[in-house]
Every structure is written in C-alpha cells, then in structure tokens.
C-alpha cells in the first residue's frame, strides 16, 4: 500500500517506510532522505507516522523476544 504519493518518481510504500525505519530512520525526514526523495503536500504525515510507530514497536518486540529467551544450561551434578 502506498503511504506517500508525492515522494520521488514512484512514491513510497509501507515497505519503503519500514525498510527506512529498520535502517535507522528516526523521523519522517529520515525516511525521505533514506530514499533520496522529498515530501510535497504532507497529506501522508499521519499514515507515515503510524507505519513508523508500528515498525518501531515490531523492532522493540523482536529485541525483547531475543533478550527474553532463556538459555538453560544443564549443571553438572555431584
Ligand atoms: S502524499 Fe506524502 S507528501 Fe504528499
């Protein structure tokens, strides 16, 4: 699904926004810089913020899942 129709020659999709956030984009302007393009009308602001927030939440959950994994090492018995 398209998020921004104004950016670049073909716009930005939700995947484009997610890719930028996973590459380190912290704000909308970072997303545009990541794709070497610019916004124009600003109509997409709310949708882009939602996609960015969802991606950040996914990343936090993934990080939490990795950190929350228990490793149980058998201890030698005497
Ligand atoms: S739709 Fe994104 S700047 Fe216009």
Q: What is the CATH number of the domain that holds 13?
A: 1.10.10
The predicted pLDDT at position 76 comes to 75
Nearest ligand 1 atom to alpha carbon 6: 4
60, part of any domain: yes
What domain range is 57 assigned to? 2-68
74, part of any domain: no
The predicted pLDDT at position 75 comes to 75
* Strand (E) or helix (H) holding 19: helix 14-22
The predicted pLDDT at position 64 comes to 83
CA of 12 to the centre of ligand 1 (A): 9
Helices (H) and strands (E) in the chain, counts: 3, 2
The predicted pLDDT at position 19 comes to 98
Query: Taking the CB of residue 6, how many other CB atoms lie within 10 A of it?
Result: 15
How long a stretch of residues is the chain?
Answer: 78
Read off the pTM.
0.82
Q: Give 63-78 pLDDT, tens digit per residue.
A: 887 665 556 667 777 6
Q: Which residues of the chain have pLDDT under 50?
A: none
What are 14's two structure tokens?
């939700």
Please state the φ and ψ torsions of residue 12, each to the nearest 5 degrees.
-120, 130
CA of 66 to the centre of ligand 1 (A): 36
State the Cα–Cα distance between residues 33 and 77, nearest whole angstrom. Answer: 58
Ligand 1: does its nearest atom lie under 6 Å from the Cβ of 46?
no
52, part of any domain: yes
């Amino acid at each position: 699904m398209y998020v921004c129709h104004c950016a670049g020659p073909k716009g930005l999709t939700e995947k484009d926004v997610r890719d930028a956030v996973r590459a380190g984009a912290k704000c909308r302007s970072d997303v545009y810089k990541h794709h070497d393009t610019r916004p124009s009308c600003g109509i997409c602001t709310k949708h882009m913020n939602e996609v960015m927030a969802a991606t950040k939440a996914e990343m936090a959950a993934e990080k939490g899942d990795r950190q929350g994994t228990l490793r149980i090492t058998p201890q030698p018995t005497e």
